[in-house]
Homo-oligomer: A and B are copies of this chain.
Amino acid sequence: MQFQLTKEFLSELETSLEANNESQVVALLEEIHAADIAEIVEELDLNHAKLLYSYLDGNTASEVLTNLDEDIRDKHVSSFTPKEIAKLFIENLESDDATDVISVLNDKKRAEVISNIEDQELAKDIVHLLGFREGTAGALMGKELVKVHESWSVKQCVVEMRKQAKDLDHIYTIYVINDKEVLLGRLSLKKLLTTGSSTKIADIYSTGLKTVKTNTPSEEVASIMEKYDLVALPVIDDLGRLNGRITIDDVVDVIREEADKDYQLASGLSESVESSDNIWILTRARLPWLILGLIGGILGAKVIGVYEEQLRIAPEMAFFIPLIAAMGGNVGVQSSAIIVQGLANNSLGMEGTFIKLMKELGVALINGFVCAGLIFAYNTVVSDTQSLSYTVSIALFIVILFAGLFGTIVPLVLNKYKIDPALATGPFITTLNDIFGLFIYFYIGRMLYV
């Protein structure tokens, strides 16, 4: 069912664009959804893309634009004049998408675009929305919604909804307000369809609507909509007045981005990158963590260096350096990941930190016992030196205990101080666990080899 972009299609399109053959381009794209056209546009160079926009109707062109990858979208927008941006894109978009597009421009160009918007209502809405900080409900919300007054009758309500619906693609919820624009509740479509036309709205609307404030963080918005299975969520100001609504499709993006961010941190990427980004962007995202790993490696070398004498006595201790280091890292990442995911999904439950640590201790004891036992058995069979068997097993056991507890505490502490707990799963903590593991290993080695 999904559109699949082929090289043949792309080259056919590029040839038609090269030839300025508008009708052929339009014919090629006719049956294709704007979200798919966006994927095509991402593969075109800027001039071809601009030509293509000019062939599309305003609705499609603007929908294509909002579906583009952010970097490409910003580049495209900036290449048009303020007047073109207003006519071709902004006037065809809903207020939240329009605000997203405008927000990438500098102040001067932004003002010019806004002054070129014919629809004064939309211009006002955009100016209002531009005022909210990114990452809050205010920045996520749109102004397009259907609101009815509690004093209206069902009949009057339908008439008014007809007027309001003209500007809407989709009616998510019918909001009920009072004289002061304060949000009172919602009117279900079912009620509207099944109630006599003289009934007052005040008698049939339902209360207990979930709401957020304009300054609610977008992560919280996402978690509320996800938990309560909401399709749209009204946004109110401090006086309880209805300011706008957030729709689930915008929140799906927030959820996806959040999950991606945690994943990136866990895999040592410092910013959101895609494999189609260029080499410089990819390097920039990866080099910082590698240098951190390098510093960790140097510290590890220092720790081992301290025990150089021990290595001369027992060079076979070097064999198990990778094992000790790797296991510390693995255990730490595992226990951090469980906490990080619990924080992200709000599923940590009621247990206090102490109980969590006790449980982690239990898990670590089992894991430590099994792993230390296995490696002891292996070494007893394979190695001649009994001291080595004892050293590796005891060190491994301690490392598993320590890394497990450390991995549990760190994300909880980071979260308490409002630092992204996912940092705990990144190379930083792994490296610390490595170094601690090496220290324990050699310390025990020196005690046992007499």
Residues of A within 8 A of B (CB): 1-2, 5, 7, 10, 31, 33, 35, 42-43, 69, 158, 161-162, 165-166, 168-172, 188-190, 193-194, 208, 210-213, 216, 220, 223-231, 247-249, 252, 255-256, 259-260, 262-264, 266-269, 273-276, 278-279, 282-283, 286-287, 289-291, 293-294, 296-298, 300-302, 304-305, 308, 311-312, 315-316, 318-327, 329-331, 333-334, 336-339, 341-342, 345, 347-351, 356, 359, 362-363, 366-367, 370-371, 374-375, 378, 400, 425, 427, 430-431, 434, 438
- B216→A190 contact, CB < 8 A: no
- B323→A297 contact, CB < 8 A: yes
Which residues on B sit within 8 Å (CB–CB) of A319? 300-302, 304-305, 308
Other 6 A-B pairs with CB < 8 A, given A35-B228, A294-B375, A330-B427: A165-B193, A170-B188, A248-B249, A267-B334, A274-B347, A308-B319
**Given known A333-B268, A366-B279, A374-B291, contact A170–B231 (CB-CB < 8 A):** yes
Question: Which chain B residue shows the least CB distance to A322?
Answer: B300
- A333→B267 contact, CB < 8 A: yes
| Choice from B259, B290, B323, B348 contacting A298 with Cβ under 8 Å | B323
A424 to chain B, nearest CB (A): 11
| Choice from B2, B289, B315 contacting A334 with Cβ under 8 Å | B289
Which residues on B sit within 8 Å (CB–CB) of A158? 193
Which residues on B sit within 8 Å (CB–CB) of A347? 69, 274-276
**Given known A162-B193, A375-B294, contact A33–B228 (CB-CB < 8 A):** yes
Among A42, A189, A229, A431, the most chain B Cβ lie within 10 Å of the Cβ of A229
